[in-house]
């Protein structure tokens, strides 16, 4: 496929305000793509060069793009900066200045972008600029617009993974294929690979997908219930584990080769030298296991709060910070060991094997666990756990498999609830913002429009307007980050009755607390036939925009309704 053709699809995707039309356009694109191109087309449409776990980033700033444009168009940087100030979009600037006539293939453009990404080390900045300017010089105006947006991470198409899966199934003329595509995706976390397999080996090939060491498995997530009684009546006798508050890590061991992936499947191996070393020593050749890494006090053995653990999140000076804040790793799941896929085995089988592999290791130990069918015992342990600074407990169904990429009652979390506050925080996806009045007006932003996710329709439904919990500096930073992903109209995957002043691509997640959930006609989450949905009452942000969660990791509409029901139950009794 010609790259020009792909940019025509991008244009159509950008113009649509209708969700179903978006699926149709994507399905048409996937149908037209050759098996050689399809993976690249999927990565590029999602603003990436590879699946996130490969960690390949193009690493160009606006400044470098300005210089590349200046070289490519023989125009002084000053003029480009002026145009940028005027339009706020370097894509439009590129479109205006670049007038080449060549029409390269998608594969060619992709290859050159990858070369730019892989150029590193001394003198690489100049090299990157040269490579980009020569790529831009040849192409047409429209292609330049999208290349420019792509290299600085501002494609703004908002195509999430579920959208791609849905469109892939549609492209084969059978929406019923979606669950099988999803299963394969959950095991390899690489949509390009799934799509390529579908194109070359049809759905039979997709059915043969297996766990592979080195390809992250999409992580299982917890449901929630308000009490230990509810837990036992839901799943019966259960395994009760401590809920640690640190970094979730999925460790892949292939002999001496260790890789570690974060919750949203980014490669974080470099952050954890001591876990890497400790994993090498385990008595298995290959393994995949999960757990939580936490800072702890070596003298007292005390676990430290997340605010301390987070200090370990950095690119440089890892060794020094590792000395200052050593980590413990509490392993809670075994997914694979020496050729055997444990994701399909029961919790008890996984745990038994996990305990046989992990013992007498200085850094890695199995998470605390006991079995019970007595709610009182759970509650007692829960109280102690909270007292010790843990977050609560996670109850696990004894006979359940590890359900990759899904949130269900095989795992149930129980956290402390405070009076006048929801039992748990809610993660919302930011879909727009409001300018703000009075004192706020001077920041140009006063509140965010937050939405929860509805997997059934792959849409975001609004649930809250969040105006507190941010400092003045944070508001300024928010505006900058959100303006960079601003859209001309509401994104087709967003359902809202409120009119935001500025709409943005669904990209960032923010965690909020609230006093309670109420019914409200102003929001679309869980809207009934009378147009009344659910809303968070007195929402406030805890922390800033999160980069460890994808938009689809926001809480779901179903969860909001469940939280609403639970809060009613708690009030009655
Ligand atoms: P939450 O983010 O509140 O939905 O809780 C789920 C998270 O708890 C997981 O993603 C893990 O990072 C973390 N966690 C801590 N301890 C455990 C455990 N024993 N089992 C499963 N998840 C745990």
* Residue 558 belongs to some domain of the structure: yes
Q: Which helix or strand (DSSP H or E) is residue 535 part of?
A: strand 533-537
Residues 262 and 361 in one domain: yes
Range of the domain at 431: 426-572
* Residue 167 belongs to some domain of the structure: no
Q: Give ∠ CA 390-392-398 in degrees, rounded to 5.
A: 120
Residues 438 and 348 in one domain: no
Percent of the chain clearing pLDDT 90 (strictly above):
76
**What is the pLDDT averaged over residues 364-376?**
96
Residue 253 has pLDDT above 80, yes or no: yes
Residues 287 and 379 in one domain: yes
Strands (E), 362-496: 364-366, 369-372, 392-397, 407-415, 426-434, 447-454, 459-466, 486-487, 494-495
Question: Going by DSSP bridges, is the β-strand pair 364-366/327-337 parallel, antiparallel, or unpaired?
Answer: parallel
* pLDDT value of residue 559: 92
* Residue 307 belongs to some domain of the structure: yes
Q: Could you give the 3-state DSSP secondary structure of residue 349?
A: helix
Final residue belonging to a domain, choices 414, 436, 461 = 414
Residues 350 and 317 in one domain: yes
* pLDDT value of residue 420: 52
Final residue belonging to a domain, choices 386, 414, 442 = 414
CATH number, position 284: 3.30.470.30
Residue 116 has pLDDT above 90, yes or no: yes
Segment 415-430, tens digit of pLDDT:
876 445 676 889 999 9
* Residue 344 belongs to some domain of the structure: yes
CATH number, position 529: 2.40.50.140
Residues 269 and 405 in one domain: yes
Q: How confident is the model at residue 569 (pLDDT cuts 50, 70, 90)?
A: low
Residues 363 and 473 in one domain: no
Only one residue has tokens 């999160």, namely 546
Residues 285 and 394 in one domain: yes
Q: What's the CA-to-centroid distance between 244 and ligand 1, angstroms?
A: 7
Q: List, in order, residues 6 or more apart from 49 with CB less than 8 Å away.
A: 43, 56, 57, 58, 110, 113, 114, 117
Question: Which residues on adjacent β-strands are paired with residue 225?
Answer: none
Q: What's the CA-to-centroid distance between 158 and ligand 1, angstroms?
A: 27
**Of 223, 242, 244, which is best to mutate to test ligand 1, by the most ligand atoms within 8 angstroms of its C-beta?**
244
Final residue belonging to a domain, choices 357, 382, 414 = 414
* Residue 301 belongs to some domain of the structure: yes
Residues 402 and 431 in one domain: no
* pLDDT value of residue 571: 44
Do the Cβ atoms of 303 and 272 come closer than 8 Å? no
Closest CA to 241 of 181, 290, 198, 281: 290
Residues 239 and 307 in one domain: yes
Q: How confident is the model at residue 549 (pLDDT cuts 50, 70, 90)?
A: confident
* Residue 110 belongs to some domain of the structure: no
* Residue 551 belongs to some domain of the structure: yes
- Residues with beta carbon inside 6 Å of ligand 1? 222, 241-244, 248, 263, 292, 332, 367, 394, 413
Residues 389 and 496 in one domain: no
Residues 278 and 404 in one domain: yes
* Domains of the chain: total: 2
Segment 47-68, tens digit of pLDDT:
999 998 998 989 799 999 999 9
C-alpha distances in Å from residue 425, one per residue of 44, 428, 509, 534, 555: 33, 10, 12, 15, 9
Residue 358, sorted as left (phi over 0), alpha (psi -120 to 50) or beta, turns out to be beta
Segment 140-168, tens digit of pLDDT:
999 999 999 999 999 989 899 999 999 99
Residue 248 has pLDDT above 80, yes or no: yes
Q: What's the CA-to-centroid distance between 403 and ligand 1, angstroms?
A: 14
> Can 196 be counted among the known catalytic residues?
no
Closest CA to 240 of 109, 376, 104: 376
Q: List, in order, residues 6 or more apart from 539 with CB less than 8 Å away.
A: 426, 450, 464, 465, 466, 468, 469, 512, 513, 514
Segment 192-241, tens digit of pLDDT:
999 999 999 999 999 999 999 999 999 999 988 888 999 999 999 999 99
Segment 288-328, tens digit of pLDDT:
999 999 999 888 888 888 888 988 988 889 999 999 899 99
Residues 395 and 456 in one domain: no
Segment 492-532, tens digit of pLDDT:
999 999 999 999 999 999 999 988 899 999 999 999 999 99
40, 142, 243, 527: the catalytic one is: 243
* Residue 109 belongs to some domain of the structure: no
């Amino acid at each position: 496929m010609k790259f020009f053709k792909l940019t025509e699809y991008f244009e159509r995707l950008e113009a649509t305000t209708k969700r179903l039309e978006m699926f149709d356009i994507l399905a048409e694109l996937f149908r037209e793509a050759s098996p050689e191109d399809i993976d690249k087309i999927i990565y590029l449409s999602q603003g990436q060069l590879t699946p996130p776990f490969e960690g390949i980033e193009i690493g160009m700033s606006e400044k470098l793009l300005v210089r590349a444009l200046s070289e490519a168009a023989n125009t002084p940087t000053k003029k480009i900066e002026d145009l940028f100030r005027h339009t706020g979009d370097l894509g439009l600037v590129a479109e205006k200045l670049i007038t080449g006539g060549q029409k390269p293939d998608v594969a060619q453009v992709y290859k050159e972008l990858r070369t730019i990404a892989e150029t590193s080390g001394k003198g690489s900045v100049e090299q990157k600029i040269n490579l980009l300017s020569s790529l831009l010089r040849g192409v047409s105006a429209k292609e330049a617009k999208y290349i420019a947006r792509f290299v600085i991470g501002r494609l703004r198409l908002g195509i999430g993974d579920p959208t791609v899966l849905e469109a892939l199934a549609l492209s084969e003329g059978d929406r019923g294929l979606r669950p099988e595509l999803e299963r394969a995706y959950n095991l390899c976390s690489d949509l390009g690979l799934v799509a390529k397999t579908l194109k070359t080996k049809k759905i039979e090939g997709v059915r043969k997908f297996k766990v592979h060491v080195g390809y992250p498995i999409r992580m299982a997530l917890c449901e929630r219930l308000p009490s230990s009684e509810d837990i036992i009546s839901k799943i019966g006798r259960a395994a009760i584990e401590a809920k640690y508050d640190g970094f979730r890590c999925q460790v892949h061991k292939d002999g001496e080769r260790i890789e570690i992936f974060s919750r949203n499947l980014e490669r974080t191996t470099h952050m954890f030298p001591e876990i890497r070393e400790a994993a090498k020593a385990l008595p298995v050749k290959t393994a995949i296991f999960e757990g939580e890494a936490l800072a702890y006090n070596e003298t007292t053995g005390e676990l430290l709060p997340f605010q301390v653990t987070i200090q370990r999140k950095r690119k440089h000076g890892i060794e020094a910070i590792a000395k200052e804040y050593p980590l413990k790793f509490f392993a809670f799941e075994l997914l694979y060991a020496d050729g055997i896929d444990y994701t399909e085995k029961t919790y008890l089988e996984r745990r038994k094997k996990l305990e046989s592999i992990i013992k007498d290791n200085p850094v890695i130990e199995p998470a605390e666990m006991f079995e019970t069918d007595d709610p009182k015992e759970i509650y007692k342990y829960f109280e102690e756990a909270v007292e010790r600074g843990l977050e609560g407990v996670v109850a696990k169904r004894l006979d359940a498999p590890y359900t990759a990429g899904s949130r269900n009652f095989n795992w149930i979390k129980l956290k402390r609830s405070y009076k006048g506050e929801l039992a748990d925080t809610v993660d919302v996806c930011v879909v727009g913002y409001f300018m703000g009045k009075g004192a706020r007006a001077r920041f140009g932003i006063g509140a965010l429009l937050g939405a929860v996710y509805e997997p059934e329709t792959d849409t975001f439904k609004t649930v809250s307007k969040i105006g507190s919990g941010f400092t003045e500096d944070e508001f300024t930073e928010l505006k900058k980050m959100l303006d960079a992903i601003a859209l001309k109209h509401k994104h087709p995957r967003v359902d809202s009755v409120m009119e935001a002043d500025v709409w943005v691509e669904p990209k960032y997640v923010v965690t909020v607390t609230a006093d309670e959930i109420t019914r409200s006609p102003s929001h679309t989450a869980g809207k009934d036939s009378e147009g009344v949905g659910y809303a968070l009452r007195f929402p406030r942000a805890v922390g800033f925009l999160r980069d460890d969660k994808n938009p689809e990791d926001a809480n779901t509409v179903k969860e909001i309704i469940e939280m609403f029901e639970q809060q009613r139950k708690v009030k009655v009794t």
